[in-house]
Amino acid sequence: MSKKRQPIFTIASILLTLVAVVIFLLGTMVEPFNAYWIPMFAGGLVLLISAWGVYYFGERSAKPTQEEEKEKVITVIGCKNCDVREERAFAEGDYVRKEIGPCKKCSGTSVIKAIYAVSLKKE
Ligand SMILES: [Zn+2]
C-alpha cells in the first residue's frame, strides 16, 4: 500500500506560517516597523489564513485518491510457453494480450492474460 502524501502543501503552509511569524516579530519588536504594525499584522494574518487554507485544501485534494483505492485493479501476466502466472498492480497502458517481455522462467514471451478489479471494502 502506498500512502500518497502531498508534502508540497505541508511545506508551503509551514513556510507561510514562518513568514507570518517573522512579520509579527518585525512589526512588534523592530523599531522602524513599529509605525506599520497594523498593516503588517493584517498581512501576517492573511498569510496565516492562507497557510491554513493551503494545508486544508491540500489535505482535501489528497483524499479522493485514497477513496479510489477501495478498488484495486490487478493485472495478470502469463507466459505463452510455460505456466508461469504473476499478478501485479495495474499500470497505465496495460491491456489484455499486451506483450510484457521475456518470461523469467523460460525466456518465452510474457503477455497480459487478464485485468480485473478487486473491491477492498470491508463489509
Ligand atoms: Zn515462460
Per-residue pLDDT tens for 91-103?
A: 999 999 999 999 9
pLDDT category at 70 given cuts 50, 70, 90 is confident
The pair phi, psi for residue 108, each rounded to 5°, is -80, -175
Q: For residue 104, what are the CA distances in angstroms to 44, 79, 84, 114, 117?
A: 60, 9, 8, 19, 25
| Element housing 12 (H / E) | helix 7-29
Query: Mean pLDDT across the stretch 57-63?
Result: 72
93: left (phi over 0), alpha (psi -120 to 50) or beta: left
Neighbours of ion ligand 1 (CB under 5 A): 79, 81-82, 84, 103, 105-106, 108
Q: How far is the CA of 91 from the centre of ligand 1 (A)?
A: 21
Domain residue ranges in the chain = 7-67, 71-119
Q: How far is the CA of 118 from the centre of ligand 1 (A)?
A: 26
Greater confidence, 63 or 91?
91
pTM above 0.75, yes or no: no
Q: How far is the CA of 115 from the centre of ligand 1 (A)?
A: 19
Determine the Cα–Cα distance for residues 22 and 60; give it in Å rounded to an integer: 28
At 67, list the grid cell: 477513496
Greater confidence, 78 or 53?
78
Q: How far is the CA of 113 from the centre of ligand 1 (A)?
A: 13
Q: How far is the CA of 106 from the centre of ligand 1 (A)?
A: 4
Q: How far is the CA of 100 from the centre of ligand 1 (A)?
A: 12
pLDDT category at 43 given cuts 50, 70, 90 is confident
Greater confidence, 105 or 8?
105
Report the share of the chain in percent with pLDDT over 70.
85
Task: Write the CATH number of the domain with boundaries 71-119.
Answer: 3.30.1330.30
Query: Mean pLDDT across the stretch 87-112?
Result: 94
Whether residue 82 contacts residue 38, with contact meaning beta carbons closer than 8 Å, is answered with no
Looking at the DSSP bridge assignments, the partners of residue 101 are 110
At 96, list the grid cell: 489484455
Give the pLDDT of residue 26: 81
